[in-house]
Structure 1
Amino acid sequence: MQVTSSSTSTSSPVRLSAAFQRLAWSNLAAQSAEQISLAAAPLVAVFALGADARDTGLLQTAQTLPFLLLSLPLGVWADRRSRRTLMTLAESVRVFAMLCVLLLVIAHALTLPMLAALGFIAATGTVAYNVAAPSLVPSIVPREAFAVANGRLELARSVAYSAGPALGGLLVGWIGAGWAYGCAAALSALAVGLLAGLHEPSRALAPRRHFMLELRDGTRFVWRDALLRPMLATAVFFNLGFFILQAVYVPYAVHRLGLSASAVGVTLGAYGVGMVCGALAAPAIARRLAFGRMLIIGPSCGLLASLVMVATLVAPSFWLATASFFLLGVGPILWVVGSTTLRQAITPERMMGRVSALISTATYGARPVGALLGAAISARWSVDACLVAAAVAFLVQALIIFTSPAARLQRIPEPGAAAAC
C-alpha cells in the first residue's frame, strides 16, 4: 500500500472560510448548551424531584439512548438532505425541549418521567447535530485544512466539556434549575441563528434507495476499508476501557485512595483540562508530525493513563489519579481530530453521514457495555480487577492502531487510498 499521499502539506497556515467560522461558533454554543443541560438534569432530579441513584441512572440512560437508537437513521438522513438544515432542526428541537423544562419548573409541574422524556428529545437534537457537523466540514473547508478545522471544533467541545458541567451547577445554585435550562435554551437558539446564516454548497444527492440498502452500503464501506476498520475497532476498545474505569472510579477514589468529594472532582476535572490542552495543541502537532504518528498519540496516552491508574493499586495517590485523567483527556482529543480528518478525507461525499453515524453508534454503544462490564467485574471479583480489565482494553486498542496501515500514513490520504492495501 502506498501511504505517502501527495496531498497538500499542512505546514502553511490556511484561512478558514466565513461559513466554517459560523459552524465553529455554532458548535461552541450547541456543545455548551448540551453540557449545561446534562449537568442540570441530575441536580433537578435530586433536589427538586427527590430522585435516588436508581432514578438518576435511568435519567442518564434516557439522555444517552438516542445515540444508540438514532445515529444510523439520522446519518442516512444527513446523506439525503441538507446537512445545515438537519443541524438547524436539531438545535431547534433542543430549544423546544429545554424551554418545556423551564416552563414545567415554573409551573411546579415537572415530574421525573417528564424530565427523562424531554432529556431524550434534547439528546435526539444532539445526535443529529453531531452526525451532520463532521459531514458538513469537507464541503466548506479545503482538504489541506481538515485537521485545523477539526481541531477548532474539538477545542470548542473541550471547552464545553470543561466549563459546561461547572457552569450548569453554578446556574442551578444561583438562579434556579429552570432558568439554568433557560440559559441552555438561549445558547441553542444562538446556535440556530448562526447556522441559519451559513451557506452550504450544493452537492449532487445520490438517488434514494431503501433505508436498509443505504445502511448496508455504509457499513460495508467501513468494514472493507483497511484504514477505517482499525480506526473503528480502536475507538470501540478505548471506550470499553474508559467506561469500565468510569463505572468504578468514584467509589474507588473515595474508599481506596481516601479522596474527599472535592478532590474526586478535581481529578475528574483534569480530564477536561487535558481535552482543552490537546485541542489547543492539535494544529501545531498536525503540522509537525507525520499524520500516522498523530493518530497513535491518543491510543498511547490512553494506555499510559490506564497503567498510571493501575499504579494507584500499590501507591494510592491523588496526583497519580489526576495525571491519569489528564492523559485520558489530552491524547484522545488528538485522536478525535486525526480520525475525523481521515474519515473525511477518504469517505465519498454521498455516504459521509452514514459513515459518521456508524462510527458514532459503535463508539457510543461501547460505553454502556463498558459500564456494565465494570459493574459485573467489580461484583464478581473486585474494583482492582476492573482497573486491570480497563488496562487490558486500552492495551488492545493500542495494539490495533500500532499494527494498522493508518499508523504508517505520512500525510492525509487521497480518496480510495485504502483500496491499494
Structure 2
Amino acid sequence: MHAASSSPSSSALRLPAAFQRLAWSNLVAQSAEQISLAAAPLVAVFALGAGARETGLLQTAQTLPFLLLSIPLGVWADRRSRRTLMTLAESVRVIAMLCVLLLLMTHALSLPLLAALGFVAATGTVAYNVAAPSLVPSIVPREAYAQANGRLELARSVAYSAGPALGGLLVGWIGAGWAYGCAAGLSALAVALLAGLREPPRAAAPQRHFLLELRDGTRFVLRDALLRPMLATAIFFNLGFFVLQAVYVPYAVHRLGLSASMVGVTLGAYGVGMVCGALAAPAIARRLAFGRVLIIGPSCGLLASLVMVATIVTPSFWLAMLSFFLLGAGPILWVVGSTTLRQAITPERMMGRVSALNSTATYGARPLGALLGAAISARWGMDACLVAAAAAFLVQALIIVMSPAARLADIPEGAAVAQ
C-alpha cells in the first residue's frame, strides 16, 4: 500500500538558484521546440505541397526519437551528469534548426530533409525531457516538488501558448526561415543557461549491464499499482492526441478554410489553455483530493476530442480553438500531478529510468499515433482520424477513473512498494 499524507504548504518556499536556471532554460527550450514544431507542417503544406499523408509521416519522423531513444537516454541520465546531457541535447537542436534555416535560404529544402532534421532536433528534446524531471529532486527539497513542477509546467504552458501562434505568424508574415532562426536562437540561450547550472554530486552507482538497469526500472513501474495505470493513461492520451495532430493542419486548411495565421492561433489556444490550467492548479489542488485532480486532465482530453469531432458537422474556427484550449487546460493538471507522484514514490537512483519510461509512453506513443493518423487518413479520410482520436481519448479517461490513483487523498509519501 502507498501511505498518503499531507505535505506542508510550499507556497512560501524559495526555490534554489539552480532550479531558477533550470526553469528559465526550460522556458526558452520549450519555446524553441514549439516554434519549430508549429512551423514544420506549415512549411510542408504551404511551401512543399504536402497533404495529410505527408504531414502525418512528418509528425512520425519528428516524434520517433521519443520511442527509440527515451529509455537509453534515461539510463544515461542515471549514470552521468544530467546537466551535461541537457546541455548537449540543446546544442544538437541548435545545429538542426540552423541546418533547416540554411536549406530554406538556399531553396534546397525537401520533405525528406525536413523530416530528417526534425528527427535530429527531437533527439535533443528527448534527452532534455528525460533529464529535467530527474534533476528536480536533487536540487529542490521534497516538500517543494509540486511547486517546482508547477513552475516548470507553467513555463511550458507559456511556450505552448506563444510558440505555435508565433510560428504560424512568422511563417505566414515573414517566412519560415525566421521561425527556424528564432528557434535556434532560443535553444542557444537554453544552452547558455544550462552551462551555468550547478548540479549536486551524486554517489557513484555500480556499473551494471544496460539491460539489467532497464529491467529494474521497467519492473518497478509495471509492478506498481499507481504508476502502471498512469503509464497506460499517458499512452492512450498521446495516441489520440497525435492521431489528431497528424491531420489537423491539412484538415484545418482544406476543410475548415483556415489560413496559416489562423491555424497558428488555434494551435496557440492549446498553450493558452495550459497557462490557464497551470495558474488555476494551486487553487484546484487545495479544494480537491489529489486523485480527483488526476482525473481532470483525461476527462478534458475526452471532451476536447468530442468538440473536434463536432467540426465535421459544423466547420468552425471557434470549435477548433475550443478543442485545443481544453486539450491544454485540463491535461496540464495531469502533467503536474503525475510528475509529482513519480518523484514522490521513485527512488532517486531510478529517477532517470522511470522518467524515461514515462517519456516513452508520453512521447513514444506520438509517432505511433501520427503513423496511425496517416494510415487512417489515407484509407478512410480525415474525418475518420478525428473519430479514432476520440476513441483513444475515451480509453485513457476510463483507465484513470477506474485506477487506485483516482482514489488518492493526497500525494503518497516514501518510495513505492511493488505490487
TM-score class, shorter: 0.7 to 0.9
Q: Which residue of 1 aligns with 2:362?
A: 363
Amino acid at match of 2:4: T
Deviations 1:223-256 (CA, angstroms, capped at 9, x unpaired): 0011100100111121223333444556666777
User: Secondary structure of the equivalent of 1:16?
Assistant: coil
Q: Which residue of 2 aligns with 1:15?
A: 14
Residue in structure 2 matched with residue 398 of structure 1 by the alignment: 397
CA–CA distance in 2 between the matches of 1:186 and 1:281?
31
In 1, Cα distance between equivalents of 2:386 and 2:304: 11
- 98-107 vs 15-24, greater mean Cα deviation: 98-107
AA aligned opposite 1:69: L
| Residue in 2 that maps onto 1:130 | 129
RMSD of equivalent CA atoms: 3.0
What TM-score do you get using the length of structure 2 for normalisation? 0.88
Q: Does the CA-based 8 Å contact 2:244-2:389 persist in structure 1?
A: yes
How many angstroms apart in 2 are the aligned matches of 1:376 and 1:45? 18
Name the CA distance, whole Å, in 1 between partners of 2:109 and 2:217.
Answer: 41
CA gap of 1:93–1:370, structure 2 versus 1, over 3 A, is: closer
Change (3 A) 1:320 1:289: same
Task: Count residues with an aligned counterpart.
Answer: 417
The equivalent residue for 1:40 is 39
Q: Is the CA contact (8 Å cut-off) linking 1:3 and 1:410 kept in structure 2?
A: no
How far residue 326 of structure 1 moved from its aligned partner, in angstroms, is: 1.9
Structure 2 equivalent of residue 4 of structure 1: 4
How far residue 289 of structure 1 moved from its aligned partner, in angstroms, is 2.6
Give yes or no for contact 1:298–1:333 (8 Å, CA) kept in 2. Answer: yes
Asked if 1 retains the 8 angstrom alpha-carbon contact of 2:163 and 2:268, the reply is no
Please list every run of 5 or more consecutive structure 1 residues that lacks an aligned counterpart in the other structure.
Answer: none
Distance in 1 (CA, whole Å) between partners of 2:175 and 2:257 is: 29
The whole-number CA distance in structure 2 between the counterparts of 1:386 and 1:94 is: 30
Q: Contact (CA 8 Å) 1:308, 1:320: kept in 2 or not?
A: yes
**Residue identity in the other structure for 2:155:** A
CA distance in 2, matches of 1:232, 1:158: 22
2:277 corresponds to: 278
Cα deviation code 1:348-397 (max 9, x no counterpart): 11111111111111222322333444455566667665544433332322
Task: Tell me which moved more, 129-138 or 273-282.
Answer: 273-282
Aligned-residue offset at 1:149: 1.1
Question: Structure 1 residues 89, 402: closer, same or farther in 2, change over 3 A?
Answer: same
Q: Give 1:307 shift.
A: 3.8
Which amino acid in the other structure matches residue 50 of structure 2? D
**Post-superposition CA distance 1:24-64 (Å, at most 9, x none):** 0000111111222233344555666x453365554433322
Asked if the contact 2:285–2:293 (Cα under 8 Å) also holds between the matched residues in 1, the reply is yes
Correspondences of 1:198-347 after superposition (within 5 Å): 198-247=197-246, 249=248, 260-261=258-259, 266-310=265-309, 319-347=318-346
Separation in 2, partners of 1:222, 1:228: 6
Offset from partner CA, 1:272-321 (integer Å, 9 cap, x none):
22112112222332334322121111112122333444555666665444
> Structure 1 residue 324: deviation in Å?
2.9
1:79-90 maps to which residues of 2 (within 5 A)? Answer: 79-90=78-89
Over 3 Å counting, the alpha-carbon distance change for 1:212 and 1:388 in structure 2 is: same
Picking from 50, 75, 82, the partner of 1:52 is 50
Distance apart, 1:147 and its partner CA: 1.5
**1:168-207 alignment to 2 at 5 Å?**
168-172=167-171, 176-207=175-206
Q: What is the deviation of 1:138? A: 0.8
Equivalent pair of 1:147/1:286 in contact (CA under 8 Å)? no
Paired position in structure 2 for 1:350: 349
Deviates more, 1:164-173 or 1:313-322: 313-322
Q: Deviations over 1:85-108 (max 9, x none)?
A: 110111122222233344455556
Q: How many percent identity over aligned positions?
A: 86
Question: What's the secondary structure of 2:330's corresponding residue?
Answer: helix
Match in the other structure for 1:119: 118
C-alpha change, 1:91 and 1:264, in structure 2 (3 Å) is: closer
Shift of 1:325: 2.6
| Cα shift readout 1:124-172 (whole Å, capped 9, x = no counterpart) | 1111001100110111111121112111111211221221123234444
- Please give the TM-score of this superposition, normalised by the length of structure 1: 0.87
Q: Which amino acid in the other structure matches residue 4 of structure 1?
A: A
C-alpha distance in 2, partners of 1:243/1:41? 15
